[in-house]
Amino acid sequence: MIFPVIYGILSFKKVPMTWILFFINLVVFLVGWNQGLKTEKSLTKMYAQESYLRVQGLYYGQFIQNSLSIYPQYYQKLVSDSKEGKLSSLSNLGALAFRDQRFVESINKFSFSGDPVEIEWWKKKFVQISDLQSVNVSHVLGLSSDSYSIFHWVTYQFTHSGFMHFFGNMIFLLVFGSALEMSLGGLFLLLTYLLSGMVGAGLFLLLSGLSAVPLVGASGSISGIIALCCLLYFKKNIRYMYFLFIPRKEYLGYIYLPAGLALIIWLAGDLAGYLGNINELGGIAHTAHIGGSLCGAILFGIIKTLKTRYNPVI
Amino acid sequence: MVIEDYRFPSKEENPINNYHPRLANPLDRLAAVIVDVFIIIFPVASLFMAHFHKLASQYLIMEDLVSFGFYMFLSGLICVFTYLLYTTICTYYWGGSLGKLIFKLKVSSLWKGSRLGFWKIFIREFFKVVGLLGLGLPYISVFTNSHRRTYYDRISETLVLSQHQSRNVSFPHLREKVFFNGLFFAALFMIISIVSVNIYLNYLELKKPVRSLSFYGEAGALCEDVSTFYNELSAKDQKDNSRMDAANSLYLDNLISKDCFQKEILFQTRHGQIDSSYYLGKMLLNSKKEKIVQEYQNKICKNWKKNENLNKNTVAFEEENSLEKETCFMAQFWSLWRSRNWEKLEEWGESLSKNPLKIYSISILIKYNLELGNFDEALSLIEKLPVNEFYKSSIAAYYLKAHWEAGKIREVNFSKKYLAEDLLEEPIEANLSSWMCEQKTWKNCNQFKEEKCLENIEISTFNQKENEVLSLRAIACQIPQPKLLFNKGIRSYNKLRDLFALHKETNTDSDVHLKNNFSKLWAYFNNSQNPYYLRVEAERLYVRTVRVREDLDKYYIFWSMNYPTLNWKRNGFLLFQRYNELNLTQKSLEVGMRLKSYSKSLKEITRGNRTYLSKSSKDYDYHQLTNENKEPEARSPASVSISFGKSSASPELDNSTSISTNIPSESGFDKIVNEFKVEKQLKTNNSSKRDLK
């Protein structure tokens, strides 16, 4: 395991903008966590309700059949499997339905055929879930197919879905943000952060498409910061920390390798993630990472073209 | 591995300096592999295999495990191929992969001065990967070989040397060799043991008999068990019961799984076959959701909505559209049952058809009658159930339970189609017992632990007298009790328990509450209209808590006339204790003698009462009493009541006279006795089916 450290985490006096960005993220995370605790439990419970998912899968299947051509082939296979009595396919369809904004919007318009009592019950449950989601910070501040105003394009960059998500992003922000702020200044860091986040979201919208499940996280913005920082010092050796899972001191320590290596590994991982995972299932927004990195590269290009002076701290 | 090199170049020919061997540290070699995997393989190979990984994920969602496995295997193959390519090229040109170069390790030929060929390196790396199939155990050879050569080093005639001045190691010490050889064999033994145990457990699992319940993995849009059941029905039953009705019946009797039942319902939904039976199915499936049950009930009975008060006067099965009406009626009945509305339920029970057409109606009515204690009626209904592979276990259970509860377990007719012939067939026996063991709802079955259930239900022991009752009781107890019936029992029990608690609180005889409670209890068990178990519990609590002589005597007459009820002996023993507590030795001995003479097996009574009897008989002429009060020959309640009506010369009347003469001072007692006589006479004349046994 290898991790770029550069200077480690610098003080507020040296890198104030990095810390301001960190604290904004922290405040949003804490507020969201407090609210999320209330709704998350009931939401998770409802998502996992097998009987509900089966019913939803049944009617989602009807919806898919109505416009079969726009859905991937495995959706069609799921529908045909569910018709042949495969109850797990019904549940899977029911779970996928949550992500389909077209379906979510059409619930009250589409004429579903079947048991009227069941349809009414399912719709009521769906409204309950929507109500719970509406108070969840991820849904309020995140970028989703039903909330994509300019406000959301900014706020999603400061919202995180869980502790590990927050922790991972913030470590990278503090390490690379500090290096970039010392080189280009706080305002440029802020600009990179916001622009990268927006480009990341834009690429995500283009390649993966927004779904009813919101896009959250600072990873797009941080990808831009990492890309810019690594491109600025591409050939220069920066400090990496390594740990080789062997509990002896000679297998844990620092190593100096080119900064470009971090960018290559980061991008290769994201590209592989984008190509190797199904977009409809969600998870890590690799395309947003790639978009953020792309923005970092563009900013690097601008710096080089304008021959902007920067403080070569590495 | 643990075998030493048999072919190793001489000192002059090999590249090892024997004074400073500088062999690679095994931990460095491991670290080098970790670096290679994490830095080089992880991002590169993951890019190459991304497409196949995506396909594999899609097949996983579709639960096509064969395709999923194939694409995962392909992804793995790409990963291995990338690794082989990378390490072979790096070693060929630079003497080691990037990881090895970082730790200053070099793969060299075993022969001094010769260069390693491309294919030799490829074979080396290939066999390195093969070692993963042995869960990494073969890699232990790096610690045990004299020159720290792994099995793949020996195959490809190579040696890994370290160029790091301070990190290289020497030849392994004997202790190190012994330790790692031991570790190797211990790990091998552990793996073999785990694999063997797993194989054995799987073998046992395969040997288990096939269960009658259908399970989730079943293929097809419809439940196979319902299809089989429906096809086996007679033409008449098929006419009266739709496929959905059949599914409802099987689900109500726990004969199909919930998933199987849901499949049937989903099929109906998709094909738009939404009728009253379908709604009943949905109602059963959503039985825990009050509002939904109510809505489905309204749907089922929408044609009869005009009759707001759907009751016995407005519904008759024999009318037009009787099948649909029956569904409506049974749905409402089931709903009442579910909501524990027993007063209304018993009202409805009166108006239930004596000739139901649907299988689930028959089944519900059987359970209802069993609960009320109408065992004869239950037995007549049992005969109407279709005897086929699916239902015979249920029928057998109902049949046995009815006999058991009626105290006629020895009258079981083993020539019945669903008992004798079929139960002797091994698979059926296994199905029946395993199915019965799964039912744990019957409250009296706590003593039958699950693991002992199979032992108790040894069908082969039916013919042996000693085990017969035990086996039958186990079966009778294991009947699937609908929760509603079970809840009813609990409800009655709780009600009575509350009364019991009230008795405990009020210790003074003069307390008004106490008297009220006694009269309440008396009414509970003396009223044949009350549910069977309520009566049993009330009787038990009455005799447990009563402390007033007047009430005791009143109960004594009741008890002596109601032989043999289910808990007759137990209540008699309690009565005996109560008399003893009041120092009414004569009365207690009378009870004791009755118990002794009525009981076929004297052991239980004599063992339990020995102390009381020996204590009481000190100041009483025991033999005189036995001679004077001879027990009657006829013991059935009917014969008792008839003899009351005949004359005072009958032995029963003599007996009861002797009771009354023993308590001449009790005012109003004669009146009570007369009331009893009249009541009993009325009961026998009425020939009520709910009479106590």
Residue A220 has pLDDT above 60, yes or no: yes
**A96/B58 Cα distance (integer angstroms):** 13
User: Which class for B423: exposed (0-12), middle (13-18), buried (19 or more C-beta within 10 A)?
Assistant: buried
Q: Look up residue B169 and give its DSSP letter.
A: B
Question: B671 near B677, Cβ under 8 Å?
Answer: no
For residue A15, give every residue at least 6 positions away whose Cβ sits within 8 Å of its Cβ, in sequence order, or none: A177, A178, A181, A182, A186
What pLDDT score does B122 carry?
93
Q: Which residues pair with B23 in a beta bridge?
A: B161, B169
- Chain B environment of A250 (Cβ under 8 Å): 167
What pLDDT score does A74 carry?
83
3-state secondary structure B411-455: HCCCCCHHHHHHHCCHHHHHHHHHHHHHCCCCHHHHHCCHHHHHH
The strand pair at B158-162 and A237-243 is best described as unpaired
What pLDDT score does A135 carry?
78
End-to-end CA distance of chain B: 81
What pLDDT score does B457 carry?
40
The alpha-carbon gap from B113 to the nearest alpha carbon of chain A, in Å, equals: 32
Which of A269, A272, A277 shows the shortest C-beta gap to B57?
A: A277
Tell me which of A115, A124, A125, A284 to substitute to probe the interface with B (most B C-beta atoms closer than 10 Å): A115
Which of B39, B57, B219 shows the shortest C-beta gap to A2?
A: B39
- Taking an 8 Å cut-off on Cβ atoms, the answer to whether B46 and A89 are in contact is no
- Taking an 8 Å cut-off on Cβ atoms, the answer to whether A265 and B39 are in contact is yes
More confident residue, B570 or B462: B570
The alpha-carbon gap from B333 to the nearest alpha carbon of chain A, in Å, equals: 21
**B427/B449 Cα distance (integer angstroms):** 23
- Chain B environment of A92 (Cβ under 8 Å): 61, 63
The alpha-carbon gap from A114 to the nearest alpha carbon of chain B, in Å, equals: 5
What pLDDT score does A2 carry?
76
Q: Does B219 touch chain A (CB under 8 A)?
A: yes
Phi first, then psi, for residue A144 (nearest 5°) are: -135, 175
Which of A58, A84, A88 shows the shortest C-beta gap to B269?
A: A58
**What is the residue-averaged pLDDT of chain A?**
85
Phi first, then psi, for residue A236 (nearest 5°) are: -75, 145
More confident residue, A61 or A84: A61
What pLDDT score does B417 carry?
67
Which of A77, A117, A278 shows the shortest C-beta gap to B292?
A: A117
Q: What is the largest CA-CA distance in chain A?
A: 70
- The alpha carbon torsion through A258, A262, A263, A266 (nearest 10 deg) reads 160
Which has the closest alpha carbon to B560: B616, B666, B635? B635
Q: B489-526 as b/e, with b when 16 or more CB fall inside 10 Å?
A: bebbbeebeebbebbeebeeeeeeebeebbeebbebbb
Residue B466 has pLDDT above 70, yes or no: no
Question: B429 near B409, Cβ under 8 Å?
Answer: no
Residue B293 tokens, joined = 């049950």
- Chain B environment of A81 (Cβ under 8 Å): 62-63
What pLDDT score does B634 carry?
32
Q: Does B187 touch chain A (CB under 8 A)?
A: no
**pLDDT bracket for residue A223 (50, 70, 90):** very high
**pLDDT bracket for residue B211 (50, 70, 90):** very low
| pTM beyond 0.80, yes or no | no
Count the Cβ atoms, other than its own, within 10 Å of residue B96.
25
Residue A284 has pLDDT above 90, yes or no: no
- Chain A environment of B219 (Cβ under 8 Å): 84-85
Residues B148-180 pLDDT 10s: 888 888 888 888 888 877 777 777 888 888 888
Phi first, then psi, for residue B160 (nearest 5°) are: -105, 120
Q: Does B270 touch chain A (CB under 8 A)?
A: yes
Residue B378 has pLDDT above 60, yes or no: yes
What pLDDT score does B351 carry?
64
**B627/B220 Cα distance (integer angstroms):** 76
R_g of chain B, CA atoms, integer Å: 41
Residues B627-681 pLDDT 10s: 333 333 333 333 222 222 223 333 333 333 333 333 333 334 444 445 545 555 5
- Quickly list DSSP for B333-361: HHHHHHTT-HHHHHHHHHHS-SS--SHHH
Q: Does B65 touch chain A (CB under 8 A)?
A: no
Residues A93-105 pLDDT 10s: 888 888 888 888 8
Which of A87, A92, A276 shows the shortest C-beta gap to B262?
A: A87
For residue B10, give every residue at least 6 positions away whose Cβ sits within 8 Å of its Cβ, in sequence order, or none: none
Residues 198-217 of B with CB under 8 A from A: 216
- Taking an 8 Å cut-off on Cβ atoms, the answer to whether A117 and B282 are in contact is yes
Give the E-state strand segments of B182-274 in sequence order.
none
Comparing A112-116, B230-234, B310-314, B556-560, the range with the smallest average pLDDT is B310-314
- Chain B environment of A114 (Cβ under 8 Å): 269-270, 272, 274
- Taking an 8 Å cut-off on Cβ atoms, the answer to whether A244 and B39 are in contact is no
Q: Look up residue A215 and give its DSSP letter.
A: B
Tell me which of A241, A244, A290 to substitute to probe the interface with B (most B C-beta atoms closer than 10 Å): A244
**pLDDT bracket for residue B197 (50, 70, 90):** very high
What pLDDT score does A39 carry?
77
Residue B652 tokens, joined = 């029963």
Helix (H, G, I), strand (E, B) or coil at B105: strand
**A287/A199 Cα distance (integer angstroms):** 10
Tell me which of B58, B164, B288 to substitute to probe the interface with A (most A C-beta atoms closer than 10 Å): B58
What pLDDT score does B294 carry?
84
- Taking an 8 Å cut-off on Cβ atoms, the answer to whether B43 and A78 are in contact is no
What pLDDT score does B411 carry?
66
* H helix runs in B2-156, sequence order: 26-35, 42-48, 50-61, 65-94, 98-102, 118-130, 141-144, 151-155
What pLDDT score does B190 carry?
93
- Taking an 8 Å cut-off on Cβ atoms, the answer to whether B43 and A272 are in contact is yes
- Chain A environment of B62 (Cβ under 8 Å): 74, 77-78, 81, 89
Residue A183 has pLDDT above 60, yes or no: yes
Helix (H, G, I), strand (E, B) or coil at A246: coil
The alpha-carbon gap from B147 to the nearest alpha carbon of chain A, in Å, equals: 23
Residues 154-183 of B with CB under 8 A from A: 167
Question: B397 near B471, Cβ under 8 Å?
Answer: no
3-state secondary structure A116-171: HHHHHHHHHHHHHHHHHHHCCHHHHHCEECCECCHHHHHHHHHCCCCHHHHHHHHH
Compare all CA atoms of chain A with the CA of B258 and give the residue at the minimum distance.
A51
The alpha-carbon gap from A210 to the nearest alpha carbon of chain B, in Å, equals: 20
Phi first, then psi, for residue B581 (nearest 5°) are: -65, -30
What pLDDT score does A102 carry?
84
What pLDDT score does B306 carry?
47
Q: Does B299 touch chain A (CB under 8 A)?
A: yes
- Taking an 8 Å cut-off on Cβ atoms, the answer to whether A115 and B282 are in contact is yes
**What is the residue-averaged pLDDT of chain B?**
68
User: Which class for A19: exposed (0-12), middle (13-18), buried (19 or more C-beta within 10 A)?
Assistant: buried
Phi first, then psi, for residue A243 (nearest 5°) are: -145, 120
**B642/B660 Cα distance (integer angstroms):** 19
Compare all CA atoms of chain A with the CA of B276 and give the residue at the minimum distance.
A115
**B477/B471 Cα distance (integer angstroms):** 10
Residues B521-556 pLDDT 10s: 777 777 665 555 566 667 777 887 777 888 888 888
Which has the closest alpha carbon to B21: B136, B148, B197, B115? B148
Residue B407 has pLDDT above 80, yes or no: no
The alpha-carbon gap from B269 to the nearest alpha carbon of chain A, in Å, equals: 5
Give the E-state strand segments of B140-265 in sequence order.
158-162
For residue A65, give every residue at least 6 positions away whose Cβ sits within 8 Å of its Cβ, in sequence order, or none: A79
What pLDDT score does B631 carry?
37
Q: Look up residue B650 and give its DSSP letter.
A: S
The alpha-carbon gap from B31 to the nearest alpha carbon of chain A, in Å, equals: 6
Q: A60-95 as b/e, with b when 16 or more CB fall inside 10 Å?
A: bbebbeeeeeebeebbebbbebbbebbbbbbbbbbb
Interface residues of A toward B, Cβ cutoff 8 Å, are 1-2, 54, 58, 72, 74, 77-78, 81, 83-90, 92, 113-115, 117-118, 121, 244-246, 248, 250-251, 264-265, 268-269, 271-272, 274-278, 281
The alpha-carbon gap from A34 to the nearest alpha carbon of chain B, in Å, equals: 32
- Chain B environment of A88 (Cβ under 8 Å): 63
- Chain A environment of B289 (Cβ under 8 Å): 121
- Chain B environment of A1 (Cβ under 8 Å): 38
Residue A29 has pLDDT above 60, yes or no: yes
Question: B469 near B411, Cβ under 8 Å?
Answer: no
Residues 373-402 of B with CB under 8 A from A: none
- Taking an 8 Å cut-off on Cβ atoms, the answer to whether B31 and A251 are in contact is yes
Residue B293 has pLDDT above 50, yes or no: yes
Which helix H or strand E contains B557, and what residues bound it?
helix B549-561
**pLDDT bracket for residue A227 (50, 70, 90):** very high
Which of B34, B61, B221 shows the shortest C-beta gap to A244?
A: B34
Residue A191 has pLDDT above 50, yes or no: yes
Q: Look up residue B38 and give its DSSP letter.
A: I
**B662/B556 Cα distance (integer angstroms):** 12
**pLDDT bracket for residue B465 (50, 70, 90):** very low
The residue whose two tokens read 């039903």 is A146
- Chain A environment of B63 (Cβ under 8 Å): 81, 86, 88-89, 92
Compare all CA atoms of chain A with the CA of B40 and give the residue at the minimum distance.
A265
Instruction: For chains A and B, count residue pairs whose Cβ atoms are closer than 8 Å.
Output: 110
Measured CA to CA in angstroms, residue A106 lies from A91, A139, B60 at distances of 20, 19, 28
**B553/A61 Cα distance (integer angstroms):** 73
